Amino acid sequence: MSIPPNTISRLVSVIIPVHNRLEYLPQAIESALGQSYPQVEVIVVDDGSPKDPAPVVARFDSRVRLVRKTNGGLASARNFGIANALGEYLNFLDDDDFLEPTALEDLRDAMRAYPSATWAAGRYDYVDPSGVPLRRPPRAAYQSGNVYQPMIHHNLMGAPSVVLALSQVVRQLSAFDESPQFHMAEDYDLWLRLARVSPLAVTQRKVSNYRVHGQQFTQSQREKFIGAVLAVLQKQRAIAPPGHDEDFCRAIAQVQLSFGDFLYLGGDAMRARAQWQLAAAGGVLSARGLRWRRGKSRLPSPVLRVLRTTRKCLRI
């Protein structure tokens, strides 16, 4: 694809990694090409997929480029897309999600309204496999400005596709960390690094749709995801500016608390108790709360089933 040099400064590169899942890819590409914002290139990164995405990409015009690499995971695929991107701005769209028609324009407008920001973000909705919106509570709203502290406690973005970032800054920050321990949370790691060096410009408009389907988190994948979030927080704590150690301590302890609850409900009481102990040491679980959880974790399974039945849902 040839792009006139005078348009590159306004160009948005939408990067779509794909590995062996093609059924949703056409809608992702169509949503990127159908933007009200006119200067868009789409880069589909084939991450060593056994299912060739070339026939899907061939349906579209020359604004869609297919680049190929050996399989290396999502962070590696996104970085390969960044290396091939021509645009001044980057958007990271998963192959099973899709953008709203005015997404890139809304995000660019947010950055124009907040000139010191080098990245922008908006809202997203959950949709079912057919793309129909699901009735789920909206995510907490966030505002333009310095979001570093709240980002320590929670990944405000959620879906990577809600972010638009200056490619120069992403490259300066070394883009996505490909280390295995961060797999499934590499986007959170990059957002924390961006938040550390730049304010965020926010549009309250919906810019993307996150598809919920059966090919996503299994029990073991969810455990890996929680472990990756902990690894990101521990990494970022070591390089954080002064004054944020308590935030990281509490954020890590909160994840350990949630991890303990997750392990307990999955039947791994011994590991759950270890995580609860760490959460108590981090100050997010009281001594009474720790005793309550540890006591419940030692009840026989038949007793727990009765409790769950009579109370409908066991809250611990």
CB 91 within 8 A of CB 207: no
Q: State the fold for domain 7-211.
A: Spore Coat Polysaccharide Biosynthesis Protein SpsA; Chain A (3.90.550)
**What is residue 314's predicted lDDT score, i.e. its pLDDT?**
43
Residue 99 and residue 2: Cα distance in Å, rounded?
24
Report in angstroms the alpha-carbon separations of 11 from 6, 104, 242. 10, 10, 37
Residue 163 and residue 39: Cα distance in Å, rounded?
17
98-99/89-92 β-pairing: unpaired
Task: Look at residues 19, 64, 62, 20 and name the one whose alpha carbon lies nearest to residue 44.
Answer: 64
Dihedral, CA of residue 302, residue 304, residue 309 and residue 314, to nearest 10: -170
Query: Which residue in the block uniquely carries the two structure tokens 């950055």?
Result: 111
Report in angstroms the alpha-carbon separations of 202 from 100, 121, 140, 176, 193. 16, 5, 13, 22, 17
- Residue at 86: amino acid letter: L
Mean pLDDT of the chain: 91
CB 120 within 8 A of CB 41: no
CB 256 within 8 A of CB 278: yes
CB 176 within 8 A of CB 190: yes
Domain segments of the chain: what residues?
7-211, 242-311
Q: For each of the chain's 316 residues, which pLDDT tens digit applies?
A: 444 444 456 999 999 999 999 999 999 999 999 999 999 999 999 999 999 999 999 999 998 999 999 999 999 999 999 999 999 999 999 999 999 999 999 999 999 999 999 999 999 999 999 999 998 887 778 999 999 999 999 999 999 999 999 999 999 999 999 999 999 999 999 999 999 999 999 999 999 999 998 766 666 788 999 999 999 999 999 999 999 999 999 999 999 999 999 898 888 999 999 999 999 999 999 999 999 999 988 887 776 666 656 554 444 4
